[in-house]
Homo-oligomer: A and B are copies of this chain.
């Protein structure tokens, strides 16, 4: 049996009891390395689970899945994923390959940012298509995701923006990326992980807004659009801040991982009241005027 087990969003103890029992029963336990972005590291997980974890990075999962599947028809193998196995990135590929090999699988679900984002008070059923905001480079500054934000807002829907690169936890992070130079030279040297902050995402959004105005278009959002910044959702020190897109450029949310929600306009009174719990305080007038 191949178990795909979601680890949830916080730390080692966010695994379900069912998931933990499966981990302890399996003969091999893989941890998807490029998504291992809980607030704790591999060692803390190993200590709590009482099992050695085999790191499986993106390449291994894609190219050497045979190792993962080895004997999985006669023994139990676990594949651990931060968040839920069907969060922002599905693990369909792994399931399809297992099925072709005649290996049965079982999914043990958990929270992902795709549902935990509801903790800010915005109603989950009113979220439209999820978008990802990726790191711009000097030469690659995609704006196409902005059309989806526009469509969502036209329909009164909130937009969850995942920041950085893809991960099944629901955040998009940039881990194990090669620099362009190393990629060209075929050197497997990787950049340190980069996490996009709400500030960076908001600044990119504002730049798109300004570009659209310069082209004479009317942008779907403005500096004043109500947004919600979320950091470390599910962890004890999670932070939520509600305010304008402009405020999102400077709000301090601390360590990764961050997500950003662009609200859909007409909010339910209960949504407004919840957001008010997280509203960014007005700057203090410190000179006594």
Task: For the complex of A and B, list the 3 residue pairs with the smallest distance between their C-beta atoms, beginning with the closest.
Answer: A86-B118, A125-B130, A109-B111
User: Which listed residue (B90, B96, B116, B271) contacts A124, Cβ 8 A?
Assistant: B90
Within 8 A of B (CB), among A249-281: 270-271, 273-274, 277
Stretch at the interface among A7-15, A135-143, A209-217: A7-15
Distance (Å) between the CB of A18 and the closest chain B CB? 4
Q: Cα distance A248–B106 when bound, in Å? A: 24
Which chain B residue shows the least CB distance to A233? B109
Point out the residues of chain B lying under 8 angstroms from A271, CB to CB: 92
Known: A6-B111, A109-B111, A270-B93. A87 touches B16 (CB 8 A): no
Whole-angstrom CA separation of A17 from B131 in the bound complex = 31
Selected from B18, B123, B129, the residue in CB contact (under 8 A) with A14 is B18
B18 A88 Cβ-Cβ under 8 A: no
Taking CB atoms, residues of chain B closer than 8 Å to A21 are: 13
Does A84 interact with chain B (Cβ within 8 Å)?
yes
CB-based contact B129/A96 at 8 Å = no
Query: Which residues between 7 and 60 of chain A lie within 8 Å of chain B, taking CB atoms?
Result: 8-18, 20-21
Contact of A84 among B92, B118, B123, B157 (CB under 8 A): B118
Smallest CB–CB gap between A260 and chain B, Å?
Answer: 15
- Give A188-232 interface residues, CB cut-off 8 Å to B: none
Report the minimal beta-carbon distance from A6 to chain B, rounded to whole angstroms.
7
A176 within 8 A of partner (CB): no
Q: Please indicate which of the listed interface residues A96, A109, A116, A157 has the most CB atoms of chain B within 10 Å of its own CB.
A: A109
- B18, B84, B270: which contacts A13 (Cβ < 8 A)? B18
In the complex, the answer to whether A124 meets B270 with C-beta atoms within 8 Å is no
Contact of A119 with B107 in the complex, beta carbons under 8 Å: yes
**Quick one: closest B residue to A112, CB to CB?**
B115
Instruction: Give the residues in chain B near A112, CB-CB below 8 Å.
Output: 115, 124
